[in-house]
A and B are shown apart, each in its own frame.
Chain A
Amino acid sequence: MTVPGRAGRTGARQLLRRHTFLLALALAIVLLAVNLILQPNFGWTAQLASFAPLALAAIASMPSILSGRGGIDMSVSPVMTLCGIVFAGYLAPAGLGGIEALPIVMVIGGAIGAINGLIVVWLRLSPIVVTLGMYFIVIGVNLKLAPKPARLADDNWATALAGDLGGFPGPLISLAIPVALWVLLGLTAFRRNLYAVGGNDATAYTAGINVSAVRVIAFCVGGMFAGIAGLVLVALVRTADSSTSSAYTLIAIAAVALGGTSLAGGKGGLVGALLGAACIFLVQSVLADAQVPQTWLPAIYGAMLIGAVVIGAVVSGEQSGKRA
């Protein structure tokens, strides 16, 4: 919910506060230009294909963050790996590797998300503790389900999601699924209620919104997106490895924060998450091009996440030193 501007704010900051994704947009454009200069043959389809899992992970983290109370879903990355393992290691060998696998992994992801949400509202625990517990549980399950990495057959339909689908870039289709779902949700009261709950849940409660239902649905929708992300990731890398269960935890949250979504909830959205993910992906691309060693990457991601949340906090003007 928007806060009335205080006197003395500059016009630029006002604009940024209203359209929180503008910073990420500007950054993404600059980074894209740098990439295009460094790599004259910037293969769009291939680049989009390696961008899609990160973008989807960021989109999956977004709904629960929007729902407020620090609703960061730590379990997105392990759930992605879980869905990948289920798809490549169990569904495909059992003859369910077709397009029907997509709704199945979405149901798995959605169910885990819903469990997170239900624990949060019924047991009244902090979302971070719940999703952190779930993070450990799902990583353990992944290790049990796939002690060795599960391979996906090269002729599986899903590989088209990382390549060409009749001349049309496949990654655009995989990105279009959650975007379409999010737009459809925008036609219902849910999305407006989500922003209201994230802005101030007590106010939303007095306004008659079913706060608990909104929170559970937010976690559930995020889990469904994480399921799609898991499938798309396997389509790209062809293996599902339980040891990479936490690979997207940090950068997905960084992408959402960089995209101007307030980690306190109620502000931001899908466009921001996509642009934030684009920024991180393009930075990765520049680093790879400059041949920066792999071992430096944790330091760079860490610094980017710190930078993103601090800039986000400065721009949104949340500078109170007192914590209530």
Chain B
Amino acid sequence: MSTTSELRLDEPRRPGAWRTLGAAQRKFPILQVVLLVAVFLVGVVTLPGFGGGLSIISVLVIAALAGLASIGQTVTILVGGFDLSVAGFIVAGALLVTQVAEQLQIGFWGSLLILVPGALVLGGLVGFLAHRFNIQPLILTLAMGSFALGIVRGPSGLAVVGQAPEWLTQLSSPISTTFGLPVPPILVIWVLVTIAMAVFLRFTVGGRRLSLTGANPVAAEYALVNTRRVWIIAFAFSALCSALAGVMLVSFAGNVDPNLGNPYLFISLAAVIVGGTTGGGPGDYTRTVVGALLLTVVSTVLIGHGLTSADQQIMYGAVILVAMAIYGRERRIRDRV
């Protein structure tokens, strides 16, 4: 392999410009932002009312729900795993704060006292088992999501009649305000979470340990990073985020449907992968935010043009494959010999 400077000597300027763009793309998702702006403009031109204030806030609220549901997925993909328990924990969280809180007469905050430790323990268990026994976290999270859903739904029976408290629905209603600001609280929460995640992943010891564990677990062990602890915390955090995303979804939907979480499994995976975060890094949550915005705007515009939920599902599947083909390719076998 020749270095970049050597190549520039005997090649025309064009590849150099591409190379610079490629390097910039690796640092920041430029392509995704350009696409986002382009698709948004297409929407404004082709769909009447799409560029209106309330319409934009509605799209942002949907993107915020997708983005908040993808926090855990981002972290687990950064350490080199996958989280398929998103849907299960979302429904479990949603049911806990509505139906179970009602049945046990413990109120919203009482149910959070069950939700937070419960999600942390179940998620942490996944991280521990996956690391200790070298099991694919994909399988374990698939199982744990099902388990979490079952233990919440089991005692409460088939009938799902959960209703969100009045104040909770204000969180994500597009017409509500936050301390005088004309945006719903969920958007403020999303912005704060995005800043917190960016600071955590980039400027704290914990964030560096997380990146190191994902990039090279063996090297991380030699650098005295307790990779098992990183895995346990990453998966516990992910489960908690999914369960809390479930609470947010209740606030948006108003009631609980057992299929509430299903779309968010592929939305979260697609948002992370489209943003450009790959298994084991590099990547960060800011990329996922861009991915969530891009996917939400694209599907809103396409739904405006008659896209069905079936088409949407096909699109997300294809988008995952295409984005991974760009970012997540593995080494050739002949290079691994």
B205 within 8 A of A: no
B301 within 8 A of A: no
With A70-B136, A302-B144 as known contacts, state yes or no: A143 contacts B313, CB within 8 Å.
Answer: yes
Additional A-B contacts beyond A301-B143, A320-B134 (4; CB < 8 A): A143-B309, A205-B337, A306-B129, A306-B143
Taking CB atoms, residues of chain B closer than 8 Å to A319 are: 132-134
Q: Is the CB of A309 within 8 A of B313?
A: no
B328 within 8 A of A: yes
Per-position 1/0 for B130-149, Cβ under 8 A of A: 01111110111011111111
Q: Is the CB of A253 within 8 A of B134?
A: no
Stretch touching chain A among B15-23, B152-160, B247-255, B289-297: B152-160
Q: Is the CB of B151 within 8 A of A133?
A: no
A257 within 8 A of B: yes
With A294-B158, A309-B135, A322-B218 as known contacts, state yes or no: A136 contacts B313, CB within 8 Å.
Answer: yes
With A296-B154, A299-B147, A303-B147 as known contacts, state yes or no: A205 contacts B333, CB within 8 Å.
Answer: yes
B260 to chain A, nearest CB (A): 14
Closest to B315 in A: A140
B334 to chain A, nearest CB (A): 7
Taking CB atoms, residues of chain A closer than 8 Å to B309 are: 143
Q: Is the CB of B153 within 8 A of A295?
A: yes
Distance A293 CA – B158 CA, assembled complex (angstroms): 9
B residues sitting closer than 8 Å to A (CB atoms) are: 80, 82, 88, 129, 131-136, 138-140, 142-151, 153-154, 156-158, 217-218, 221, 227-228, 266, 269, 273, 279, 308-318, 320-321, 324-325, 328-334, 336-337
Q: Count how many pairs of residues, one from A and one from B, have CB atoms less than 8 Å apart in the complex.
A: 181
Taking CB atoms, residues of chain A closer than 8 Å to B154 are: 293, 295-296, 299
Closest to B221 in A: A322
A132 to chain B, nearest CB (A): 7
Q: Is the CB of B146 within 8 A of A299?
A: yes
With A119-B321, A295-B154, A310-B133 as known contacts, state yes or no: A132 contacts B269, CB within 8 Å.
Answer: yes
Distance A86 CA – B138 CA, assembled complex (angstroms): 30
Q: Is the CB of A306 within 8 A of B147?
A: yes
Distance A254 CA – B232 CA, assembled complex (angstroms): 23
A residues sitting closer than 8 Å to B (CB atoms) are: 70, 72, 119, 123-126, 128-130, 132-141, 143-144, 147, 201-202, 205-206, 211, 249-250, 253-254, 257, 263-264, 293-303, 305-306, 309-310, 313-314, 318-324
B103 to chain A, nearest CB (A): 13
Closest to A303 in B: B147
B217 partner, pick from A295, A306, A310, A323, beta carbons under 8 A: A323
Distance A321 CA – B334 CA, assembled complex (angstroms): 28
A302 partner, pick from B143, B321, B324, B325, beta carbons under 8 A: B143
Taking CB atoms, residues of chain A closer than 8 Å to B147 are: 298-299, 302-303, 306
With A141-B314, A302-B150 as known contacts, state yes or no: A206 contacts B337, CB within 8 Å.
Answer: yes
Distance A131 CA – B293 CA, assembled complex (angstroms): 25
Distance A267 CA – B136 CA, assembled complex (angstroms): 16
Distance A144 CA – B328 CA, assembled complex (angstroms): 30
Q: Is the CB of A299 within 8 A of B269?
A: no
B143 partner, pick from A124, A250, A318, A322, beta carbons under 8 A: A250
Closest to A299 in B: B150
Taking CB atoms, residues of chain B closer than 8 Å to A318 are: 133-134
Q: Is the CB of B131 within 8 A of A211?
A: no
Contacts A/B (CB < 8 Å), 18 sampled: A72-B139, A125-B324, A130-B321, A136-B266, A144-B308, A295-B156, A295-B157, A298-B147, A299-B149, A302-B148, A303-B147, A305-B143, A305-B146, A306-B140, A309-B133, A310-B133, A314-B133, A321-B134
